[in-house]
Amino acid sequence: MASLPLRNIRHQHALRHGLTYHRQSILHRRTLASSVPPSGSSRSTLRTTSYTVLFAVSAGLFAAYYLDARSAIHRYVLTPVLRYTFDAETGHKIAVKVLRSGLGPRDIVKDDDVLRSEIFGFDVSNPVGLAAGFDKDGEAIDGLFNLGFSWVEVGSVTPKPQPGNPRPRVFHLPADSALINRYGFPSQGAAAVVSRLRARIPTFYDVNEASTGALRSGAVLAVNLGKNKTSPADSSEDFVSGVNTLGPYADVLVVNVSSPNTPGLRGLQNRELLESLLKDVVEARNALEPSPVTSRRPRLVLKVAPDLEEPQLAEMAEVIRNSDIDGVIVSNTTVARPSSLIDQNKAETGGLSGRPLKPYTLRALKTLRAHLPASIPIIGCGGISSGADALEYGRAGASFVQLYTEFGYDGVGTCRRIKDELASLLKREGKTWGDVVNESAARLSWKEPPTPLPAPVREGEATIGKLVEEAKMLLSLVDQLGKKMSGSPES
C-alpha cells in the first residue's frame, strides 16, 4: 500500500514534466513563426519600396527635364496647351505668374564666347533681349533672366495706375505667327514697380563698377516708360516723372513714344515736340544722383514706330544727333496690315507684332542707321524668330536684338534656340557678334560731313576777305617804310 502513493507521485511528476515540455515546444514554435514573416508580406514590402524608389527617380528626372528650358515639352506641349486652352491675355498672365514663382525653367547652358557683346558700355554675355510688354509690372524679372536673356525690359510703366483698354485686347494670329494687341498701357503704376525693384536688392549688396540693375553679371535691366492716358498729349511730365522715380534702379530707361494704343502718343515723334521731350528727359536724367544699385545714371533710349516715312525718320535722326539720347529701339508694333495676313483675327484694331513686322522694322532700321553715327547704338526689335533673323539685323546695323511675339509662340526655350543658331552661323563665318556689329557700323553709319573748303577766288573777283588781306599787307609795308625813315640820319 505504501507503494501506491509513490507511484501516484511519480505519475504526477511525469505528467507535469510532459505538460511543461509540450508548452515549451508550442512557445518555441510560435517564436520561430513570428521571426520569419509570411512570404506574402515580404513581397508586399518589397513592392512598396520599389514603387517609392521608382517614383522618386521619375520625379527627379522629370524635374530635371522640366527645369531645362531646352526641353521639347515646353515648345511642343506646355506652350501650345496654354495658348489653346486660355484666351491670349489669360495665358500671358499665367506665364508671368509661373516665372514669378521661381518654379519656371532655366537656361542652364553657358553662352558661347562668339556671342559676347557690348551695349551702352555694358558687357553682356549675348545680344538677345526681351522687349517690353511681357512683364509689364516687373513681377518676373529674375525668372526671365533665368531663361538666358541678357536684357530684360519691364513695362511700359506709367506714373499712376491705370487699367488700360477694355478686354478683349490681345489676339493671336497663329496662321501668321503674329499677334495684335491694344492693351493701352495697363499698369500697376510706378510705385508698385519700384517696390518690387527694391525688394530684389540683397540686404548686403556690394556695389562696384561692374554692378548692374540686373543684379547679375553679363546682363542689364531696362524699364520702359509709358504715359498715362489722362495726361496731356503733348506733355513730357509723365516721362520726367518716370526718370525720377525709376532711374535709380535701372540700367536703361526707354522713352516710349511709339505705341499706337495711347491716343496722341505718336504725335510726340514730331520734330518740335520730340526736341522738347528729349531735352526734358535728358535734363531729368542728368540731375539724378548716381544710382545706389549701379553707381551710375541710367542710359536713355528712344523707342520709335516702324510706320514713319524715310523723311520723317531722317528728321528724327537729326533731332537725336543733337540731343544726349544714348540709343534707339526700332521698333514698336505697326498699324499696317500686310496683304499676306490670312488669320481670321487680322482685322482687329491694335498694333501688329511677330514675323509680318520684320520688313517694316528692317526698313526703318536701315534708314536710321544711315542717319545716326556709330556712337548711337540701334536695337532691332520686330519679327525675329531665328538666329538667321538676328544676324540679318546685325548686318543691317543693329547692335542688339529683342524678342517678344516669338517668345510667346515658341516658349521658354526660344532665347537659347536663337542663341545657339546665331552662334553656329557666326562660327561658320569665322566671326563674332562684335565683328558683325563693328563692320556694319563702320560701313553703314552716318558720318559727320567734312568742313567745306573756301571757294577759290576767280581772277578779277574781289571779296571782303581778299580786300582785308590786301589792306593788312599795305599797313605792314607802311610800317616798314616808317621805321626806315625814322632810322635814317638827318640831312
Q: What is the DSSP string of 166-193?
A: PSP-EEEEGGGTEEEE-----B--HHHH
Question: Which pLDDT belongs to residue 64?
Answer: 54
Least confident of 147-156, 318-327, 466-475: 466-475
Mean pLDDT of 22-49: 57
Mean pLDDT of 90-116: 92
DSSP string computed for 281-301: HHHHHHHSPPPTTTSSPPEEE
Question: Which pLDDT belongs to residue 60?
Answer: 60
pLDDT > 90? residue 131 = yes
Question: Which pLDDT belongs to residue 422?
Answer: 98
State yes or no: is 231 an active-site residue.
no
Is-contact 401 415, C-beta < 8 A?
A: no
Is-contact 302 328, C-beta < 8 A?
A: yes
- With cut-offs at 50, 70 and 90, classify the pLDDT of residue 77: confident
pTM score:
0.80
Question: Which pLDDT belongs to residue 53?
Answer: 63
Which DSSP letter does residue 457 get?
P
- Residue 330: strand pairing partners: 304, 380
Mean pLDDT of 419-443: 96
Mean pLDDT of 24-35: 50
The radius of gyration of the chain from alpha carbons, rounded to an integer in Å, stands at 38
Mean pLDDT of 113-117: 96
The pairing of strands 117-119 and 122-124 is antiparallel
Give the separation between CA 435 and CA 423, rounded to whole angstroms.
13
* pLDDT over 90, % of the chain: 64
Give the separation between CA 334 and CA 337, rounded to whole angstroms.
8
Q: What are phi and psi of 342, to 5 degrees?
A: -125, -15
Q: In this predicted model, which residue has the larger pLDDT, 164 or 260?
A: 164
Q: In this predicted model, which residue has the larger pLDDT, 37 or 307?
A: 307
Question: Which pLDDT belongs to residue 208?
Answer: 84
Give the separation between CA 318 and CA 270, rounded to whole angstroms.
12
Mean pLDDT of 61-73: 69
Find out whether the peptide bond into 156 is cis, omega within 30 degrees of 0: yes
Residue 70: all three cell numbers together: 531646352
pLDDT tens by residue, 389-424 = 999 999 999 999 999 999 999 999 999 999 999 999
Q: Which residue in the list 125, 236, 259, 385 is annotated as catalytic?
A: 259
Question: Which pLDDT belongs to residue 70?
Answer: 81
Residues near 82 by Cβ (< 8 Å), separated by ≥ 6? 91, 94, 95
Question: Which pLDDT belongs to residue 490?
Answer: 42
pLDDT > 80? residue 380 = yes
Q: In this predicted model, which residue has the larger pLDDT, 431 or 261?
A: 431
pLDDT tens by residue, 341-352 = 999 999 999 999
Mean pLDDT of 478-482: 66
Q: In this predicted model, which residue has the larger pLDDT, 231 or 490?
A: 231
Is-contact 112 423, C-beta < 8 A?
A: yes
Residue 45: all three cell numbers together: 514590402
Q: What are phi and psi of 480, to 5 degrees?
A: -60, -40
| Strand ranges (E), 323-425 | 327-330, 351-354, 378-381, 400-403
Is-contact 257 190, C-beta < 8 A?
A: no
Give the separation between CA 128 and CA 278, rounded to whole angstroms.
27
Question: Which pLDDT belongs to residue 460?
Answer: 55
Give the separation between CA 165 and CA 181, rounded to whole angstroms.
10
Question: Which pLDDT belongs to residue 465?
Answer: 66
pLDDT > 50? residue 4 = no
Q: Which residue has the cell 561692374?
A: 210
Give the number of other Cβ atoms within 10 Å of residue 477's Cβ.
10
Comparing C-alpha atoms, which of 183, 305, 289 is closest to residue 243? Answer: 289
Is-contact 373 446, C-beta < 8 A?
A: yes
Q: Which residue has the cell 510726340?
A: 268
Residues near 29 by Cβ (< 8 Å), separated by ≥ 6? none
DSSP string computed for 98-137: HHHHT-S-B--SPPPGGG-EEETTEEES-SEEE-TTSSTT
- With cut-offs at 50, 70 and 90, classify the pLDDT of residue 73: confident
- With cut-offs at 50, 70 and 90, classify the pLDDT of residue 152: very high
pLDDT > 60? residue 39 = no
Question: Which pLDDT belongs to residue 78?
Answer: 84
Least confident of 23-37, 274-288, 295-309, 346-360: 23-37
Q: Which residue has the cell 530707361?
A: 253
Q: Which residue has the cell 481670321?
A: 344
Residue 76's alpha-carbon distances to 82, 96, 120, 281, 310, in angstroms, are 11, 19, 37, 44, 41
Comparing C-alpha atoms, which of 227, 220, 157, 165 is closest to residue 192? Answer: 157
- With cut-offs at 50, 70 and 90, classify the pLDDT of residue 482: low
